């Protein structure tokens, strides 16, 4: 068999975009994907959850729009139809990726791949009983759900009483009482979905706050928004799963919650086992593959992109890493800047952030100022949101007059966080940013207002 210019293991966002960019750059590419093209994001993560969350938002608006002069009667929610629509959305996007691979002449092998080492002509990968050789190798094997070592979890998974974020996205029945173990981004988004559509939800988080590094004030608004149907318990440790309950410890006291479904969402870890990484002596940091700012591993010609390097488990990070890696292969100057990657929490209202917080900047010894502004400064927000509590925090370096970070909650923030990310990325001074023209009326005008309050 001919030698490829590039072998890519994993067909998720990082893997398929890497294959695409490499083919566009003139390389002969072979892509391996043993499950579903599109990876976790397209099939079991970003896209399916956003499809569900949009249906929940429409349901809430139909029920709760009296303040806007709109009243609907007998509003119902059909989980079966929602799941069916989710399937159609996923299929459409996966088909699009497959067509792109075909159009670019990329060889796609729908088998699990394993690195066999280095042979004559380059790196060798086996899949489906065949061996493939490539001059370069990209590992984009993704991540997998962490299964906590809690008594009763194994039995719960076997019986269906406990599920991960993969299985819950195919359930056509709504639980009456759901316990979510883990209050990170994935767990919180699904918790808010089920709380909106009628389930009684309890989130149990071991840490003192939910949603990871999300601004604490943003977290409070989220929990206040869903307080009628969702209870959040922080600094609590799950001790056991029984056949119909979750046993946990709260302030030293043993407690128990009865439920009919448990979602295990304590985090994700790089999927790097059984890939044959040891055949090349690739450096690891526990389960993560060690990479530099060009996504190079310690083995020349081998790259690791996306969740498997453990740096930033986000699909859009994987996209950018793919481009940086291919540019490095093609000799084009490029490198990753992880400090300018935005993150979004797709609950209702949405939350988004990029760059430094006031606290993180001060920890680095920077002299910063934080401006906090209500979203009500934007006319469109006030027109479309009743009694909204959305806000924006802009973090600015007082020495350089540059934006270092932005944190906000409110309608559409997922769509205009890029504006703030560009301000952080380009490092333009405030005086120049104040000359930008924001369309009116838009919610993103709140950024302009904040720039003039520095």
Which pLDDT tens digit goes with each residue over 72-131? 999 999 999 999 999 999 999 999 999 999 999 999 999 999 999 998 899 999 999 999
Which residues make Cβ contacts (< 8 Å) with residue 201, sequence separation at least 6?
177, 178, 179, 180, 191, 194, 195, 226, 229, 230, 231
Structural domain contains residue 103: yes
Q: Tens of pLDDT along 30-47?
A: 999 998 999 999 998 999
Report the pLDDT value the prediction gives residue 406, as an integer from 0 to 100. 98
Residue 441 preceded by cis peptide, ω within 30? yes
For every residue of 279-347, which 3-state class applies, written as one string? HCCCCEECCEECCCCCCECCCCCEEECHHHHCCCCCHHHHHHHHHHHHHHHCCCCCCCCHHHCCEEECC
- Element housing 55 (H / E): helix 46-63
pTM, whole model, 2 decimals? 0.95
Distance CA 362, CA 373 (A): 20
Structural domain contains residue 344: no
The answer on pLDDT for 2 being more than 90 is: no
Structural domain contains residue 343: no
The answer on pLDDT for 440 being more than 90 is: yes
Length of the chain: 454
Report the pLDDT value the prediction gives residue 443, as an integer from 0 to 100. 98
Q: Confidence band (pLDDT; 50, 70, 90) for 1? A: low
Structural domain contains residue 430: yes
Name which of 395, 385, 401 is nearest 441 in CA terms: 385
Distance CA 276, CA 413 (A): 42
Structural domain contains residue 330: yes
**Angle, vertex CA 78, rays to CA 74 and CA 81, nearest 5:** 140
Asked if 304 and 291 count as a contact pair (C-beta separation under 8 A), the reply is yes
Summarize the confidence of residues 214-228 as an average pLDDT.
95
Domain that holds residue 379: 349-451
Q: Catalytic residue positions?
A: 440
Q: Confidence band (pLDDT; 50, 70, 90) for 70? A: very high
Same-domain status, 133 and 17: yes
Same-domain status, 33 and 54: yes
Same-domain status, 17 and 126: yes
Same-domain status, 75 and 217: no
The answer on pLDDT for 238 being more than 70 is: yes
Same-domain status, 14 and 103: yes
Structural domain contains residue 432: yes
User: Residue 33's domain is classified under what CATH number?
Assistant: 3.50.50.60
Same-domain status, 296 and 356: no
- Report the number of distinct structural domains present in the chain: 3
Report the pLDDT value the prediction gives residue 454, as an integer from 0 to 100. 87
Q: Tens of pLDDT along 382-399?
A: 999 999 999 999 999 999
**Mean pLDDT taken over the chain:** 97
Summarize the confidence of residues 259-275 as an average pLDDT.
97
Among 296, 317, 338, the domain boundary falls at 338
Among 309, 338, 367, the domain boundary falls at 338
Summarize the confidence of residues 50-67 as an average pLDDT.
96
Structural domain contains residue 124: yes
Same-domain status, 259 and 284: no
Summarize the confidence of residues 278-289 as an average pLDDT.
98
Same-domain status, 288 and 421: no
Name which of 344, 37, 387 is nearest 212 in CA terms: 344
Among 304, 338, 372, the domain boundary falls at 338
Same-domain status, 195 and 224: yes
3-class DSSP assignment, residue 61:
helix
User: Residue 414's domain is classified under what CATH number?
Assistant: 3.30.390.30
Same-domain status, 17 and 109: yes
Same-domain status, 58 and 83: yes
Q: Tens of pLDDT along 130-174?
A: 999 999 999 999 999 999 999 999 999 999 999 999 999 999 999
Q: Confidence band (pLDDT; 50, 70, 90) for 209? A: very high
Structural domain contains residue 244: yes
Query: 9 forms bridges with which residues in the sheet?
Result: 32, 139
Same-domain status, 16 and 139: yes
Name which of 399, 385, 381 is nearest 447 in CA terms: 381
Instruction: Work out the percent of the chain whose per-residue pLDDT is above 90.
Output: 98
Distance CA 373, CA 449 (A): 8
> What is 394-444 written as a DSSP string?
EEEETTTTEEEEEEEESTTHHHHHHHHHHHHHHT-BHHHHTT----SS-TT
Report the pLDDT value the prediction gives residue 93, as an integer from 0 to 100. 96
């Amino acid at each position: 068999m001919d030698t490829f210019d590039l072998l890519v293991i994993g067909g998720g966002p990082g893997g398929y975009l890497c294959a695409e960019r490499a083919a566009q750059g003139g390389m002969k590419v072979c892509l391996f994907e043993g499950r579903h093209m599109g990876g976790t994001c397209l099939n079991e993560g970003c896209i399916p959850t956003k499809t569900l969350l949009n249906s929940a938002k429409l349901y809430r608006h139909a029920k709760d729009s009296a303040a806007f002069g709109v009243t609907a009667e007998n509003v119902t929610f059909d989980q079966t139809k929602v799941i069916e629509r989710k399937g159609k959305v996923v299929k459409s996007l996966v088909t699009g990726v497959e067509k792109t691979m075909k159009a670019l002449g990329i060889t796609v092998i729908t088998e699990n791949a394993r690195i066999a080492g280095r042979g004559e002509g380059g790196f060798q990968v086996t899949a489906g009983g065949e061996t493939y050789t490539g001059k370069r190798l990209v590992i984009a094997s993704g991540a997998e759900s962490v299964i906590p070592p809690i008594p009763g979890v194994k039995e719960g998974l076997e019986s269906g009483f406990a599920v991960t974020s993969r299985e819950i996205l195919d359930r056509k029945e709504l639980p009456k009482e759901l316990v979510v173990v883990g209050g990170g981004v994935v767990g919180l988004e699904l918790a808010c979905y089920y709380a909106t559509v009628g389930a009684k939800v309890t989130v149990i988080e071991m840490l003192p706050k939910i949603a990871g590094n999300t601004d604490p004030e943003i977290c409070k608004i989220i929990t206040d928004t869903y307080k009628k149907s969702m209870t959040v318990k922080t600094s609590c440790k799950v001790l056991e799963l029984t056949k119909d309950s979750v046993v946990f410890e709260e302030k030293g006291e043993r407690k128990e919650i009865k439920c009919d479904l448990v979602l295990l969402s304590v985090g994700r870890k790089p999927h790097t086992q059984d890939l044959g990484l040891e055949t090349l002596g690739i450096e690891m940091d526990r389960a993560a593959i060690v990479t530099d700012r060009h996504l190079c591993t310690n083995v020349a010609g081998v790259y690791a992109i996306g969740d498997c390097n453990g740096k930033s488990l986000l699909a859009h990070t994987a996209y950018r890493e793919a481009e940086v890696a291919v540019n490095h292969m093609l000799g084009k100057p490029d490198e990753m800047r992880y400090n300018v990657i935005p993150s979004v929490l797709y609950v209702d209202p949405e939350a988004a952030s990029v760059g430094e917080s006031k606290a993180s900047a001060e920890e680095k010894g920077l002299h910063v100022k934080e401006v906090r502004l209500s979203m009500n400064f934007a006319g469109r927000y006030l027109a479309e949101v009743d009694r909204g509590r959305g806000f924006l925090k802009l973090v600015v370096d007082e020495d350089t007059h540059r934006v270092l970070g932005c944190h906000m909650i409110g309608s559409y923030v997922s769509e205009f966080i890029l504006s703030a990310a560009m301000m952080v990325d380009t490092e333009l001074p405030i005086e120049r940013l104040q000359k930008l023209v924001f369309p009116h009326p838009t919610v993103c005008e709140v950024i302009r207002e904040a720039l003039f309050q520095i």
